[in-house]
Amino acid sequence: MCAKELKKTSRFTEVQAELERTGAALFVDKEGSENLYIRSPYTIQYIHSYAEDSPFFLGLAEGRIRGTRCTACQYTFATPRGHCQFCGEPTQWVDLPTKGKVHAWTTCHYGSEAFLKETPYNLVLVEFEGAKSLLLSRLKDCGEEDIYVGMPIEARFAQEPSYSITDLWFVPAPGSLKK
Amino acid sequence: MVSGGVTKFAKAHPEMDFRLMCKNAFDRARAEVPNLRLDGIDGTRISYFSDHFTRQLKAASMVQDYLGLNPRGSVRIEWGGATGGECFQAAYEAVASGRMDTCLAIGFETMSRVATWKGNEFIALASDTNFDFPLGGFYTGYYALMVMRHLFEYVRRAKFSHISDEREAQRKAIEYGTRVMAKVSVKNHRNALYNPYAQYPKNIDVAGVLGSDMVSYPLTREQICTMSDGAAAAILCTEERAKELTDHPILIKGVGCGTDTMRLADRPFGKVLLMPHEKPSDYAHLEYPGVHSFRAGRSAGLEAYRHAGIENPGKDLDFIELHDAYSSSEIQTYEDLGLCKYGEGYDFVERGDAFLPNIDYGFPVPRAGTIPVNPSGGLIACGHPVGATGLMQAVFAFWQLQGTIGKHFGSDRLQIPKAKRGAIHSHAGTGSSVTVTIMEGK
Ligand SMILES: [Zn+2]
Q: Which of B133, B135, B151, B229 to mutate to test the interface with A (most CBs of A within 10 A)?
A: B135
Residue A51 has pLDDT above 70, yes or no: yes
pLDDT in tens, B187-235: 999 999 999 999 999 999 999 999 999 999 999 999 999 999 999 999 9
Q: How far is B236 from chain A (nearest CA, A)?
A: 34
Task: Enumerate the domain spans of chain A.
Answer: 8-38, 51-172
The bridge status of strand A65-70 relative to strand B43-47 is unpaired
- Which chain B residues contact residue A138 at CB under 8 A? 135-136
In sequence order, which residues have a C-beta less than 8 Å from that of residue A5 and are 6 or more positions away? none
Residue B144 falls within a domain, yes or no? no
B94, HSE (Cβ side, Cα atoms, 13 Å): 27
Q: How far apart are CA A116 and CA A120, in angstroms?
A: 8
CB contact under 8 A, B146 and A104: yes
Q: How many domains does chain B have?
A: 1
Q: What's residue A12's pLDDT?
A: 87
Whether A178 and B167 lie within 8 Å, measured CB to CB = yes
Instruction: For residue A166, list chain B residues with Cβ-Cβ distance below 8 A.
Output: 134-135
Q: Are the beta carbons of B266 and A138 separated by less than 8 Å?
A: no
CB A77 within 8 A of CB A131: yes
Residue B397 lies in a domain: yes
The whole-angstrom separation of Cα B159 and Cα B176 is 9
State the nearest Cα–Cα gap between A68 and chain B, in angstroms.
12
Strands B102-110 vs B43-47: parallel, antiparallel or unpaired: parallel
- Give domain status of residue B29, yes or no: no
pLDDT band, very low/low/confident/very high, at A1 (cuts 50, 70, 90): low
In tens, the pLDDT along B250-302 reads 999 999 999 999 999 999 999 999 999 999 999 999 999 999 999 999 999 99
Residue B36 corresponds to which amino acid?
Answer: L
Q: Is the pLDDT of residue B116 over 60?
A: yes
Do the domain assignments include residue B185?
yes
Question: Is residue B110 one of the residues assigned to a domain?
Answer: no
State the count of interchain CB pairs (< 8 A) between A and B.
147
- Rounded distance between C-alpha atoms, residue A67 and residue A59, angstroms: 10
What DSSP letter does each residue of B250-274 carry, written as one string?
A: -EEEEEEEEE--SSGGG--EE-PPP
Task: Inspect the interface and report whether the beta carbons of A109 and B215 lie closer than 8 Å.
Answer: yes
Which DSSP letter does residue A159 get?
Answer: S
Domain residues for the domain of B421 are 151-222+253-440
CA distance B71 to chain A (A): 31
| Nearest residue on chain A to B141, alpha-carbon basis | A108
Percentage above 90 pLDDT, chain A? 91
Does B71 sit behind a cis peptide bond, omega within 30 degrees of 0 on the bond before it?
A: yes
For residue B431, the SS3 value is helix
Q: Calculate how far, in angstroms, residue A152's C-alpha sits from the geometric centre of ligand 1.
A: 28
B124–A77 C-beta distance less than 8 A:
no
CA distance A1 to chain B (A): 23
Instruction: Find chain A residues with C-beta within 8 A of B127's C-beta.
Output: none
Does a structural domain hold residue B104?
no
pLDDT of residue B268: 98
Give the phi and the psi of residue B312 in degrees, each rounded to 5.
-135, 100
- What is the model's pLDDT at position B442? 83
Query: Under a CB-based contact definition with an 8 Å cutoff, are residues B11 and B72 in contact?
Result: no
Stretch 55-84 of chain A: residues touching chain B, C-beta under 8 Å: 77-79, 81
- Cα-Cα-Cα-Cα dihedral sign, residues B148, B150, B155, B156: positive
Mean pLDDT of A159-178: 96
From chain A, pick out residues whose CB is under 8 angstroms from the CB of B173. Answer: none
pTM (global) more than 0.80: yes
Secondary-structure breakdown of chain A: helix, strand, coil percentages, each rounded to the nearest 5: 20, 35, 45
For position B265, what pLDDT does the model report? 98
Which of A15, A114, A134 has the CB atom closest to B121's CB atom? A114
In contact, B290 and B261? CB cutoff 8 Å? no
What number is the average pLDDT over the span A121-133?
98
Confidence of residue B440 (pLDDT cuts 50, 70, 90): very high
Per-residue pLDDT at A2: 57
Torsions phi, psi for B259 (to 5 deg): -140, 165
Q: Are B387 and B83 in contact (CB under 8 A)?
A: yes
Per-residue confidence at B25, pLDDT binned at 50, 70, 90?
A: very high
B384 pLDDT more than 60: yes
Q: Which DSSP string corresponds to B287-322? A: -EETTTS-HHHHHHHHHHHHHHT-S-HHHH-SEEE-
Q: Looking at chain A from residue 107 to 126, which residues have their Cβ under 8 Å from any Cβ of chain B?
A: 107-116, 118, 121, 123, 125
Predicted ipTM of the assembly: 0.96
From chain A, the residues in CB contact with B156 under 8 A are 149
Residue A110 has pLDDT above 60, yes or no: yes
Q: What is the pLDDT of residue B276?
A: 92
Residues A84-107, mean pLDDT to the nearest whole number: 98
**What is the distance between the alpha carbons of residues B185 and B367, in angstroms, rounded to a whole number?**
18
| Per-residue confidence band for B310, with pLDDT thresholds at 50, 70 and 90 | very high
Q: How far is CA B139 from the centre of its chain?
A: 16
The enclosing domain of B168 has a CATH number of: 3.40.47.10
In a domain, B126, yes or no: no
**What does the pLDDT average to over B158-175?**
96
Is it the case that residue A4 has pLDDT exceeding 90? no
Residue B161 CA to residue A178 CA, distance in Å, equals 20
Ligand 1 mean position to B336 CA, how many Å?
26
State how beta strands A121-127 and B251-259 pair: unpaired
Cβ distance of A112 and B120 shorter than 8 Å: yes
Which of A16, A136, A144, A163 would best serve as a mutation to test chain B binding (most B beta carbons within 10 A)? A136
